[in-house]
Structure 1
Amino acid sequence: MAEKSTIYRATINLSDIDRGVYTEQQLTLACHPSETMERLLVRIIAYCLCFEETLEFTKGICEGTSPDIWMRDQDGRILHWLEVGLPTPERIQEACRRAKHATFYLYGQHLDRWLQMHGEKLTALSRLQLFRIEADFLKSLVNSASRKMSWTVTQTEGTLYLSDGTQDLTTPITLIKLP
């Protein structure tokens, strides 16, 4: 019998000072058995950092052809493709072909090696933005994660401030400059 996804709920009090976005969002996410807690949390962070009213979580890891999060127009065309992890260059190129804008939030112990291997292949993709999620920040967040989370998230001047009721975390949101 296949393992079932675990449901996580998050209340996000979001303040994006740079963009003038102030909202509270109630999120319900399914965490696939093969998905790590790091990946789930980075999906939530990506949603917060790019929040728009029409941004939606997709089936994500369960469906290989869709991004983790997207924003589509009325005709179903992808306006913004958001994905997390360390994708293949082909996956990033596909995102840039299919979407008006593609944003990837990269994390993991092999991130620097990944950038060395693939960074040069991605320099010509004008619709692409890559951001780094710091390992120490993510580790602290994983340690306090639960199936029901309540976060206060503030973004301003390239810095993310996150409070989860047990700790206050700060991390830069670093745009990766490709060679």
Structure 2
Amino acid sequence: MALPSTLHHFDLRITHADTGVEAAVALKVARHPSETAERLWLRVLAYAWQWREGIAFGPGLCEPEAPDVLASLPDGRAALVVRVGKPEPQRIERDVNGNAGARVAALFESPRRLEAFLVEARERKLARVARADLAAVDPGLLAWLSRHEERRARIGLTFVADHVYADLDGESADGPLGRASF
């Protein structure tokens, strides 16, 4: 018998200082039994980083081809496709090619992983990867968030330029959001 997913409840406050976007969301996030805390938090960070009305989590690890975070237009076409962790350059290029007009983004677990992605994309001459929004989370911030495995939490995520500030149940941490271009 397979283990069930664990449901996490987050009262999430999202602020994008540069654009004036603010949102308060009661978020329920299912964590697959094989999913690490780091990957769970990467999904939450990606959700907040790419916040827009209608944003949702994908089906998760049970459907590896599906995006981690997505949003659709009223006609059903993709408006946003986000991958987290260690996406392959070919997967991001397929997302760009297969979702005309959609914003495609990838949030990597570290600047080192982002750099390895860029090297591979250049070697394979995957030029359309340049259309994707690529960023990496500070490993220190991700480790700090991952130490919090409570099933209920209040978290505030504030994005100022390429920096993320996190407030989790009265504790705070921050780190750069490393950006890259192809």
Compute the TM-score of the two structures, normalised by the length of structure 1: 0.91
Q: Give CA deviations for 1:48-88 in whole Å, capped at 9, x if unaligned.
A: 11110111112122112320111111221111101101112
Identity of aligned residues (%): 25
Give matches, 1:20-39, under 5 Å.
Answer: 20-39=20-39
The answer on 1:15 being equivalent to 2:15 is yes
Give matches, 1:1-179, under 5 Å.
Answer: 1-99=1-99, 100-108=102-110, 111=113, 114-115=116-117, 117-120=119-122, 121=124, 122-178=126-182
Q: Which structure 1 segments of 5+ residues have no match?
A: none
Aligned length in residues: 178
Decide whether the 8 Å contact of 2:12 with 2:155 is kept in 1.
yes
Distance 1:21 1:32, change over 3 A: same
Decide whether the 8 Å contact of 1:46 with 1:105 is kept in 2.
yes
108-117 or 159-168, which deviates more:
108-117
Cα deviation for residue 3 of structure 1 reads 1.0
Cα deviation for residue 145 of structure 1 reads 3.1
Decide whether the 8 Å contact of 2:71 with 2:79 is kept in 1.
yes
Partners of 1:157 and 1:110 lie apart in 2 by 21
Cα deviation for residue 112 of structure 1 reads 5.8
Q: Give CA deviations for 1:12-32 in whole Å, capped at 9, x if unaligned.
A: 111111121111101001111
Distance 1:61 1:172, change over 3 A: same
Cα deviation for residue 124 of structure 1 reads 3.6
Compute the TM-score of the two structures, normalised by the length of structure 2: 0.89
Q: Which structure 2 segments of 5+ residues have no match?
A: none
Decide whether the 8 Å contact of 1:16 with 1:154 is kept in 2.
yes
| SS of alignment partner, residue 60 of structure 1 | coil
Cα deviation for residue 165 of structure 1 reads 2.2
| SS of alignment partner, residue 18 of structure 1 | coil
Distance 1:51 1:177, change over 3 A: same
Amino acid at match of 1:27: L
Partners of 2:115 and 2:176 lie apart in 1 by 20
Cα deviation for residue 166 of structure 1 reads 4.3
Amino acid at match of 2:139: A
- Pairwise CA RMSD: 1.9
Partners of 2:115 and 2:175 lie apart in 1 by 21
